[in-house]
Chains A and B, each alone.
Chain A
Amino acid sequence: MTTKLFGQRVPRVEDPRLLKGEGRYLDDLGHDALAAAFVRSPHAHARVTGIDVGPALDVEGLVAIFTHEDLEGHPGEPLPLLIPHPALTHGRTPYALARDEVNHVGEAIVMVVATDRYLAEDIAGKIDVTYEELPPVVGIEAARSATALVHDDVPGNVAATLVQEIGDARGMIAEAPHRGSLRLTIERSASMPMEGKGVLARWDPDDRSLLVHTSTQTSTSVRQALAAKLDLPVDRVEVVTPDVGGAFGVKIVHPWPEEVLVPWAAIRLNRPVKWTEDRREHFVSSAHERGQLHEVEFGYDDEGHLRGLAVRFWHDNGAYTPYGLIVPIITSTQLLGPYKPGAYRVEFQSLYTNTVIVTPYRGAGRPQGCFVMERVMDAIARDLGLDRAEVRARNFITPDEMPYDHGLVFQDGRPLIYDSGDFPASLAKLKALVDWDGFEAFRSAAAAEGRTVGIGLACYVEGTGVGPYEGGHIRIETDGSVVVSTGLTSQGQGHQTMLAQIVADELGVPMDRVKVTTGDTRRFKYAVGTFASRTAVMSGSAVALTARAVREKALRIAADALEASVDDLEIADGLVRVKGSPAAAIELGTIAVLSNPLRYAFDEAASRATQFATPADPSKPPVAVGERPGLESTDYYSPPRSTFANGMHAVIVETDPETAEITILRYCVVHDCGTIINPMIVEGQVHGGVAQGVAGALYERMEYDESGQLLNASFMDFLMPYASEVPHIEIDHLETPSPLNPLGVKGAGEAGVIPGSAAIAAAIEDAEGIVISAMPISPSELFTLRQARQQ
């Protein structure tokens, strides 16, 4: 019997290629393509008054210089607003090249195409753009004050206002025995994958077809967007995602200006064109996230039960809103975590600033929401003198309340209904893992040595597996190999391994016979993309359903060939056999041959399926009614609503009494992503998420000055953690299967990052006895808080 692979620590099939330097990332392709570079705005807010290309024209290697004037028709119109929402009354998107106004430093104005990138940058440096500077709007306070406007036609800089309310939150708070309020901020960070964006476009003038490689999280939607933008029939455009060097959300936005311009230029110039984003470009012209200001009011009873929660927050969406309101909607709904808020009211404003756009970064609005809710829990515990874990437990949704309907609308436009989870069990595991109850003894021992330590915890629920759908195609070849494709893309999560595990199990074949392709529209054209921790749920379920259909067909054909009943057959090790009589067996490859009646013998396998090779019933058509040639199938998975994974983190920190340096001594994670397909991969996802959570809590922030210059737009100055900053991570799992999909999975990609700031803030607060209300926090900021307390 083939060993079951689902649930096993199967080594990744992606690895040998990537480890030997044989990966193919975007810039590894198209060595001979023309290179693009861009002149980008040095001002946060300005009118473009002139573009002088004269000095650039005699540089050898120049092929073309393009400005907005060259972009006739659809390419010259604003880029699409990808996710419209009725509340987004003032959505604005940029032009691929700025038309007459720039709204952030880094906005592209001129495209240069040259024979190589060095020369393209030389030429870009010689182009003289003149500007009339306009007052910049930087930061949430400036946006709210609206003394200057980002877009003249957007009053108050307000892109959207959205309110959701369940029950009378303000009334419940007013009547509650205890009340509290908090003002909380989280600063900007960014996905910051090691590989930036990049696009390679090849136009075939004979075939009138466009082949685009792009480092994206959604090749199918880039394809549709390009066809629309470039006025090409969709079937003349194919988009392939090569190996992607990380994404973490930023590459779900599309089409980026360069994703339109590079193919547009390739067609216009009739030459392959490539653009590879450099690190500074990534800082100033891709996307950031996280920046929000929250004002929270809450009421609770003597036992610490939340009676009512009212949250107002202001979300800095940057200069444009191509990705709609997804981030603040997620914040406003996922803020609730595993808790029953009593009555809940949330109102947010999404505000324009003259800074880089804000779109999802791993966690996508959840770290901010989690920070807010967990600060509330800690405030209640502090006020009532209760154990912080106990206050959380008292507010938990309990397993017998699942599925739990919050009465709100989630980011997918569907009801916010938790499908599964056992929060008390998760908390029990976390308390055991970190030795919550033993901490006071540890604190005393540390204090005796003159050391200051603190512990904190934070809980979250993460909507995962967002629809609308994904699909899978599986074909068994005549050599018995299994070819799988799904439309969404991969950025290092090990999808090829995870999906191959599922398919190998379903089909009863060894895993090394299964080859998975993702993100190639030549192979699979209907897909949504990779975001919201959705691949295992969506494509995992889709390929499982597809494999079941292929299996059914294989058994049907084998039953005929073996003159046995389908019910008496089993598949193992790539062989269909009659249960109990192993001699009566047929290889899947042979079934593939039988499934496709042929006239021509183009190879040995084919010769076995030709018209004179096999006895056939002349009264029946070679392909039976209702059947199709080939041992293959396509199926889709479209869930009624999202799954909801959850987890809890506990952190022990030490703070230096002199320098206020913050050191993480232990970082413990309990994680519930439903059934686990590959624990090794899930733990890897958690590790990476926690590292980004620690980064957001202690190190990373985008430092804009008041003129809208990003002061730390390099890896020298933006403090991404090295190995010396990320603690050892201890993990325990709880598996509460989702009832919504055939695998019981819930998604794991983003989980690790969500409660980082909340848990670390709680631990620092516990160590120092100082209320922490802004993250990230640096040693100097903690030092300042200590001084403020002493005054």
Chain B
Amino acid sequence: MTEPLHGVQLTVNGIPRELQVPARRLLSDALRHDARLTGTHVGCEHGVCGACTVLVDNVPMRSCLIFAVSVDGAQITTVEGCVGPDGELGPVQQAFRDCHALQCGFCTPGFITTITSFLETSPRPTEQEAREAIGGNLCRCTGYQNIVAAVLRAAEIINDPATGGTGS
């Protein structure tokens, strides 16, 4: 029996897309394999690691726990959409580079999206708040210390773009 396909309209990083997917297609797989935006990564497929975090209508969500059909019509931001206006590193991405907040880079997209959302509501976090903000994402490489620093650095860049610059 062939699985019925459903049309799903998503606006991904500002670009409208129409995907034809089975009802059980996870949003993570739809983004990665149908939209071919492979920046969103899948680390556990049970919603614990946070690598697949994307912004659904500006709210961070685990795309491995969402069926694509259930977010029909939504605005999705992935790590590819967290770049600057000319495709250069966005503020959170730049902060990660400045602070050596990534090693293998596999968990990084979920941190970038999570932190991007966090800083919109908490633009001047303390170190403790920064640590709590990333408290739902797993990283196996960095020990988190430089990610905490990157949250604070990203806030600096966002609040005072003059200091952001190229960073390196």
Partners in one complex: yes
Chain A residues engaging chain B, CB cutoff 8 angstroms: 11-12, 14-16, 18-25, 27-28, 31, 60, 118, 192-195, 243-246, 248, 278-279, 491-494, 680-681, 683-684, 687-692, 714-716, 720, 722-724, 726, 728-729, 752
One of B66-74, B101-109, B157-165 at the interface: B101-109
Q: With contacts A194-B49, A715-B138, A723-B144 known, is A118 near B24, CB below 8 A?
A: yes
Residue of B nearest to A31 (CB): B33
| A18–B41 CA distance with the chains assembled, in angstroms | 11
User: Nearest chain-B residue to A16 (Cβ)?
Assistant: B89
Give the dominant DSSP class at B's interface: loop
Partner of A684 from B24, B83, B131, B142 at Cβ < 8 Å: B142
Give Cα A27 to B135, complex, Å.
26
Q: Does B44 contact A (CB under 8 A)?
A: yes
Interchain Cβ contacts under 8 Å between A and B, 24 examples: A21-B39, A21-B109, A27-B38, A193-B104, A193-B106, A194-B51, A194-B140, A195-B43, A195-B106, A245-B43, A245-B105, A279-B44, A492-B105, A684-B103, A687-B143, A687-B145, A688-B142, A689-B143, A690-B143, A715-B44, A722-B135, A722-B137, A723-B137, A723-B144
Query: Within residues 91 to 106 of chain B, which ones have a CB less than 8 A from any CB in chain A?
Result: 93, 96-98, 100, 102-106
Cβ of B156 within 8 Å of any chain A Cβ, yes or no, is: no
Contact A194 B135 (CB under 8 A): no
Q: Is the CB–CB distance between A21 and B38 below 8 Å?
A: yes
User: Considering the chains assembled together, what is the distance between the CA atoms of A493 and B104 in angstroms?
Assistant: 7
Q: Please determine whether B106 and A194 come into contact, CB atoms closer than 8 angstroms.
A: yes
Task: For the complex of A and B, list the 8 residue pairs with the smallest distance between their C-beta atoms, beginning with the closest.
Answer: A21-B39, A492-B104, A245-B106, A18-B105, A691-B143, A687-B143, A28-B38, A715-B48
Asked if B46 is at the interface (CB within 8 A of a chain A CB), the reply is yes
Q: Mark B128-162, 1 if CB is under 8 A from A, else 0.
A: 00011011111111111111100000000000000
Q: Give every chain B residue within 8 A of A14 (Cβ-Cβ).
A: 105
Interface flag for B121 (CB, 8 Å)? no
Contact A25 B45 (CB under 8 A): no
How distant is the Cα of A278 from the Cα of B46 in the complex, in angstroms?
Answer: 10
Closest CB in chain A relative to B67 CB, distance in Å: 12
Contact between B2 and A60, CB atoms less than 8 A apart: yes
Known: A19-B112, A723-B147. 19 other contacts (CB 8 A): A11-B97, A18-B102, A23-B106, A27-B38, A194-B41, A194-B139, A195-B41, A243-B105, A245-B106, A245-B107, A279-B45, A492-B103, A681-B100, A687-B145, A687-B146, A688-B141, A715-B43, A723-B134, A724-B132
Report the bound CA distance from A722 to B142 in whole Å.
11
The residues of A that contact B53 with a CB separation of less than 8 Å are none
Contacts of B1 in A (CB 8 A): 60
The residues of A that contact B38 with a CB separation of less than 8 Å are: 21, 23-25, 27-28
Distance between B159 CB and nearest chain A CB, rounded to angstroms: 20
Contact A723:B43 (CB < 8 A) given known A20-B89, A194-B104:
no
A634 to B42, CA, bound (A): 39
The answer to whether B141 and A25 touch across the interface, beta carbons within 8 angstroms, is no
| Bound CA–CA A27/B100 (angstroms) | 25
Listed residue (A23, A27, A118, A680) with the most chain B CB atoms within 10 angstroms of its CB:
A23
Closest to A686 in B: B143
- In the complex, what residue of chain B is closest to A193 when comparing beta carbons? B140
Instruction: Please tell me if the beta carbons of B141 and A492 are within 8 angstroms of each other in the complex.
Output: yes
**In the complex, how many angstroms separate the beta carbon of A110 from the nearest chain B beta carbon?**
21
A27 to B36: give the CA distance in the assembly, Å: 11
Residues of chain B with a CB closer than 8 A to A28's CB = 32, 38
Is B78's beta carbon under 8 Å from chain A? Answer: yes
Instruction: Report the nearest A residue to B145, measured CB to CB.
Output: A687
B83 / chain A contacts, CB cutoff of 8 Å: 20
Query: For the complex, what is the distance from the CA of A634 to the CA of B146, rounded to whole Å?
Result: 37
Q: A22, A245, A728: which contacts B41 (Cβ < 8 A)? A: A245
Q: From residue B135, how far is it (CB to closest CB) to chain A in Å?
A: 5
Contact A246 B135 (CB under 8 A): no
What is the size, in residues, of chain B's interface with A at 8 Å between Cβ atoms? 60
Cα A171 to Cα B36 in complex, Å, equals 68
Contact of B143 among A494, A681, A688 (CB under 8 A): A688
Q: For B94, give the chain A residue with the smallest CB separation.
A: A19
For residue B125, CB closer than 8 A to chain A, the reply is: no
B116 near A: Cβ within 8 Å? no
B123 located at the interface, meaning its Cβ lies under 8 Å from any Cβ of chain A in the complex: no
Distance between Cα atoms of A60 and B107 in the complex (Å): 34
Collect the chain A residues with CB atoms within 8 Å of residue B10's CB. Answer: none
Q: A15-B102, A27-B42 in contact; A724/B48 too (CB < 8 A)?
A: no
Distance A728 CA – B49 CA, assembled complex (angstroms) = 21
A14 vs B41: C-alpha distance in the bound complex, in angstroms? 17
Report the Cα distance A722→B143, complex, angstroms.
8
When distances are taken between beta carbons in the complex, the residues of chain B under 8 Å from A714 are 44, 46, 48
Identity of the chain B residue whose Cβ is nearest the Cβ of A11 in the assembled complex: B168
Q: Does B61 contact A (CB under 8 A)?
A: no
Of B37, B107, B140, B145, the residue contacting A729 (CB under 8 A) is B145
Give the shortest distance, in Å, between B127 (CB) and chain A (any CB): 9
**A246 and B106 form a contact (CB under 8 A):** yes
Task: Give the docked Cα–Cα distance between A689 and B141 (Å).
Answer: 8
Q: Are B102 and A724 in contact (CB under 8 A)?
A: no
| Known contacts A688-B142, A720-B140; A21/B46 CB under 8 A | no
A61–chain B nearest beta-carbon distance, Å: 9
Binary CB contact string for chain B from 14 to 30 against chain A (1 if under 8 A, 0 otherwise)? 00000000101100000
Contacts of B46 in A (CB 8 A): 279, 714-716
Closest Cβ–Cβ distance, residue B148 to chain A (whole Å): 7
Q: Tell whether A246 pairs with B141 under 8 Å between CB atoms, given A20-B79, A724-B135.
A: yes
Give every chain B residue within 8 A of A118 (Cβ-Cβ). Answer: 22, 24-25
In the assembled complex, which residues on chain B have CB atoms less than 8 Å from the CB atom of A22? 39, 80
* Residues on the B chain within 8 Å of A726, using CB: 143-145
Instruction: Answer yes or no: B63 CB below 8 A from chain A CBs.
Output: no
Q: Which residues of B contact A192 (CB under 8 A)?
A: 140
The distance from the CB of B151 to the nearest CB of chain A, in whole angstroms, is 10
Chain B residue contacts of A680, Cβ below 8 A: 100
A12 touches B33 (CB 8 A): no
Question: Assuming A194-B107, A245-B106, A722-B137, is B41 touching A19 (CB within 8 A)?
Answer: no
Indicate whether A278 sits within 8 Å of B45 (C-beta atoms), given known contacts A15-B97, A24-B38: yes
Min CB gap A195→B, angstroms? 5
Given contacts A248-B140, A688-B141, contact A491 B104 (CB under 8 A): yes
Instruction: Please indicate the chain B residues that have their CB under 8 angstroms from the CB of A20 in the complex.
Output: 39, 79-80, 83, 87, 89, 93
Q: For the complex, what is the distance from the CA of A15 to the CA of B136, rounded to whole Å?
A: 23
Query: CA–CA, A691 to B148, complex, Å?
Result: 14
- Interchain CB contact (< 8 A) of B144 among A25, A27, A683, A691: A691
CA distance A688 to B144 in the complex (A): 8
Instruction: Give the chain B neighbours of A681 by CB distance below 8 A.
Output: 100
A690, A715, A729 — most chain B CB neighbours (10 Å): A715
